[in-house]
Amino acid sequence: MNPKIITIDGPSGVGKGTIALMVADYLGYNYLDSGSLYRSLALALSEKKIDLTKDIDDIEKNINELEIDFKYDKNGKTSIFVNKIEFTKKIRTEKVAKMASQIAKNAKARKMLEVVQRRYIKAPGLVADGRDMGTKVFNEANIKFFLTASVEKRAERRLNQLKDQGISANLPNLIHELLLRDKADTERTISPLVPANDAILVDTSEFSAAEVFNKIKELVDKNI
């Protein structure tokens, strides 16, 4: 039987990662945090002093030399390595998020990352979160979700996440940065952030992670 695929897309800070990990854990499926790939790629390139907005040839050349690996432990903690060097914490800043959003406009980078992302399809199944999981990378997914939430709620959640990781940030700045990133992600021409036609929309603004998970679990149990 083909591995099942569940996609969870949506804007930054909507809770995709938390919910996707809960679903993957519940079903015993593999998990892909596609945003981490964009962040790792962007940071690795910028550490090589490559201008993400200009040096298209250098981007292409260097992409082929990068190997990005994830390790997940039983508690849902993810570690990310680029060419065997740990990137886990340093990709979580808003600065890197912004760089990720720049590289995300590059068609070659997206194509290369698509190949990497599809390698995560493994039996019995995969839960993938990102921006274009349901519309593009895993268009054939068995069930697709698109999460939304107000920008204030998303910024609050992001602030708490960053605090937990020991990274300082402030709410007004985060709101500003999330709005800029939403704009870049929804307005880009290649794989913009939009719900797939067959995606189930879930507004998470007023619900806890456990409540959102229960709603999604019910739909997954019925459809998978």
Q: Which residues, 185 to 214, sit near ligand C5P by CB under 6 A? A: 185
Q: Of 100 and 175, which has the nearer Cβ to ligand C5P? A: 100
The CA-atom distances, in angstroms, between 114 and each of 34, 117, 139, 206, 210 are 9, 5, 12, 33, 30
**Residue 66 DSSP SS3:** coil
Taking CB under 6 A as the rule, does residue 19 contact ligand C5P?
no
SS3 state at 115: helix
Q: What is the DSSP letter of 134?
A: I
Which of the stretches 61-69, 99-107, 142-150, 210-218 binds ligand C5P when contact is defined by CB under 6 A?
99-107
What's the residue count for the chain?
A: 224
Residues 47-86 that bind ligand C5P (CB under 6 A): none
Binding mask 147-186 for ligand C5P (x = CB under 6 A): ----------------------------------x---x-
With binding defined as CB under 6 A, does residue 31 bind ligand C5P?
A: no
Segments of the chain assigned E as strands? 4-9, 30-33, 68-72, 78-82, 85-86, 125-130, 143-148, 200-203
For position 12 contacting ligand C5P by CB under 6 A, the verdict is yes
Q: Which is nearer to ligand C5P, 21 or 221 (CB)?
A: 21
Site stretch for ligand C5P (CB under 6 A), options 33-41, 81-89, 143-151, 164-172: 33-41
Q: Where are the beta strands (DSSP E) in 67-156?
A: 68-72, 78-82, 85-86, 125-130, 143-148
Please report how close the Cβ of residue 12 comes to ligand C5P at its closest, in angstroms: 4
Query: Alpha-carbon distance 161 to 49, whole Å?
Result: 29
Cβ-proximal residue to ligand C5P, closest one? 35
Task: Please tell me whether residue 94 binds ligand C5P under the rule CB under 6 A.
Answer: no
Q: How far is the CB of 33 from ligand C5P (least distance, A)?
A: 7
Q: How many CB atoms lie within 10 A of CB 51?
A: 12
- CB of 188 closer than 8 Å to CB of 38: no
Beta bridge partner(s), residue 202: 147
CB of 13 to ligand C5P, least distance (A): 8
- How far from the centroid of its chain's Cα atoms is residue 163's Cα? 19
Token pair 């929804």 is found at: 186
For residues 100 to 139, the per-residue mask of contacts with ligand C5P, x marking binding by CB under 6 A and - elsewhere, is xx--x-------------------------xxx-------
Chain residues binding ligand C5P by CB under 6 A are 12, 34-35, 38-39, 97, 100-101, 104, 130-132, 181, 185
